[in-house]
């Protein structure tokens, strides 16, 4: 089983790369599904076939899906949605506003995680290709297993207990709708559908991410940040795809400066992301729409590589024994010492890089030890634990 995540800044061509990859894996005889977690779906446009919320045949051995969050609300979120609508109506929102606001921000990502897990564990597919939303939304998607796990382990039980205690009192003194056990039960059942998704997505032998870029300064800056944040949450990046490069056949002097700039940025990409391989794709003279053109694009992109293979084997985390100490080493590329904040509480290492924060649950071998130092060693954060 392989799960391939494609992300990148909006407009760099990640949908095209994801669609082409899915076609190649299906052609190789691997049962493949390609799904989109981007609210601005464009998979159907790339394949030039209609796609909906259910897996739809695209080609031999290939299915496609575009997530419909509102349809999922009716299917698996009914009790929660009804409570939110009732609460908003009590607060004075109109019927239309209440219906619209009942689609809680972030539900698309939660539904997408549940689908990825179901596809991977169903036994029906060998490869799951995910056309992710632009980078900020992708980082939010991939941080959800940590955030939801923390909430369900710590906040959810207390919230449910408090609600049970105050519900009789509130019902006597106020008309405020209070969530019932059916609402909490729906939340619990839905979270249970995500059980194991973090282990699945952080297993480098199963799941790898590929970042699609254009050879432009702004795009590369965002790609570097994305690589850092994916490493922060333990995800494996096994390739960078440099898309829409001006081909050698373009020799018009008008494009000379542009080509020189692209060549300079491409060199910077290769140097910055080493040892992760950089795959290159030329700008094509036609729209990449339809299976035939997408396959042609995919062949040129991967050349002699198998698209489903793990293209790089770097590890985001490892624990090394150094003398009497244990050193937790975390890959944090493009990060300076001053960018990192560290703390520790209740058997967890609290880590912040930029605007993203993570509570890393420590294994028993580290939990019993004290933190005695931390340092940046190249592109890795090393935290030393002494007995």
Domains and CATH numbers, the chain: 1-311 (3.40.50.300), 317-386 (2.60.40.790)
Q: Please, how many CA atoms are within 13 Å of residue 46, restricted to the half-sphere of its CB? A: 25
Select the more confidently predicted residue: 232 or 297. 297
User: Residue 169: its pLDDT value, please?
Assistant: 44
Distance (Å, rounded) from C-alpha 307 to C-alpha 208? 12
b/e string for 223-246 if b means 16 or more Cβ within 10 A? Answer: bbbbbbbbbbbbbbbbbbbbbbbb
Distance (Å, rounded) from C-alpha 194 to C-alpha 4? 18
User: Residue 165: its pLDDT value, please?
Assistant: 47
- Given pLDDT bands bounded at 50, 70 and 90, which one contains residue 288? very high
Give the mean model confidence (pLDDT) for residues 330-335. 87
Average model confidence (pLDDT) for the chain?
81
Task: Tell me: pLDDT of 170 over 50.
Answer: no
User: Residue 22: its pLDDT value, please?
Assistant: 98
- Given pLDDT bands bounded at 50, 70 and 90, which one contains residue 160? very low
Distance (Å, rounded) from C-alpha 259 to C-alpha 200? 41
Residues sharing a CB contact under 8 Å with residue 349, sequence separation 6 or more, in sequence order:
328, 342, 343, 359, 360, 362, 371, 383
User: Residue 85: its pLDDT value, please?
Assistant: 59
Residue 214 in contact with residue 12, Cβ under 8 Å? Answer: yes
Q: Of 5, 223, 16, whose CA–CA distance to 112 is shortest?
A: 5
Distance (Å, rounded) from C-alpha 174 to C-alpha 186? 25
- Given pLDDT bands bounded at 50, 70 and 90, which one contains residue 212? very high
The mean-pLDDT minimum among 21-35, 120-134, 174-188, 280-294 falls in 174-188
Task: Tell me: pLDDT of 87 over 70.
Answer: no
User: Residue 260: its pLDDT value, please?
Assistant: 92
Task: Tell me: pLDDT of 164 over 60.
Answer: no
Residue 200 in contact with residue 184, Cβ under 8 Å? Answer: no
DSSP class of residue 162? H
Instruction: Write down the pTM of the prediction.
Output: 0.77
- pLDDT winner (highest mean) among 64-78, 91-105, 272-286, 333-347: 272-286
Q: How many percent of the chain have pLDDT more than 90?
A: 37
User: Residue 292: its pLDDT value, please?
Assistant: 95
Task: Tell me: pLDDT of 175 over 80.
Answer: no
- Given pLDDT bands bounded at 50, 70 and 90, which one contains residue 103? low
Q: Where are the alpha helices (DSSP H) in the chain?
A: 14-27, 43-47, 69-76, 78-90, 95-101, 107-121, 135-150, 156-173, 181-192, 197-201, 217-232, 256-273, 291-302, 364-367
């Amino acid at each position: 089983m392989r799960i391939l995540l494609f992300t990148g800044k909006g407009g760099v061509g990640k949908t095209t790369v994801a669609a082409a990859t899915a076609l190649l894996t299906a052609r190789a005889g691997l049962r493949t599904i390609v799904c989109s977690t981007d609210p601005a779906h464009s998979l159907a446009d790339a394949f030039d076939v209609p796609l909906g919320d259910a897996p739809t045949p695209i080609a031999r051995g290939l299915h496609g899906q575009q997530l419909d969050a509102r349809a999922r609300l009716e299917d698996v979120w009914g009790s929660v949605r009804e409570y939110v609508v009732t609460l908003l109506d009590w607060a004075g929102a109109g019927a239309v506003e209440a219906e619209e606001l009942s689609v809680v921000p972030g539900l698309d990502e939660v539904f997408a995680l549940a689908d990825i897990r179901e596809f991977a564990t169903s036994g029906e597919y060998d490869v799951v290709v995910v056309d992710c939303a632009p980078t900020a939304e992708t980082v939010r998607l991939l941080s959800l297993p940590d955030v939801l796990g923390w909430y369900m382990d710590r906040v959810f039980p207390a919230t449910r207990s408090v609600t049970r205690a105050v519900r009789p009192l509130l019902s006597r003194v106020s008309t405020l709708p209070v969530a019932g056990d059916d609402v909490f039960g729906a939340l619990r059942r839905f979270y249970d559908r995500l059980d194991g998704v973090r282990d699945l997505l952080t297993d480098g032998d199963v799941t790898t991410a590929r970042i699609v870029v254009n050879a432009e300064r702004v795009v590369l800056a965002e790609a570097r940040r994305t690589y850092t944040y994916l490493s922060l949450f333990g995800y494996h990046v096994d390739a960078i795809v440099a898309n829409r490069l001006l081909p050698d056949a373009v020799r018009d002097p008008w494009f000379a400066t542009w080509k020189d700039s692209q060549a300079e940025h491409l060199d910077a990409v290769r140097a910055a992301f080493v040892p992760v391989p950089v795959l290159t794709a030329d700008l094509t003279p036609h729209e990449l729409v339809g299976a035939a053109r997408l396959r042609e694009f995919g062949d040129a992109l991967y050349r002699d590589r198998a698209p489903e293979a793990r293209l790089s084997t770097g590890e985001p985390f490892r624990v090394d024994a150094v003398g009497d100490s244990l050193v937790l080493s975390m890959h944090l590329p493009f990060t300076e010492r001053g960018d990192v904040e560290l703390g520790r509480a209740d058997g967890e290492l609290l880590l912040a890089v930029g605007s993203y924060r993570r509570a890393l649950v420590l294994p028993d071998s580290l939990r019993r030890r004290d933190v005695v130092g931390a340092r940046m060693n190249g592109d890795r954060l090393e935290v030393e634990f002494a007995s």
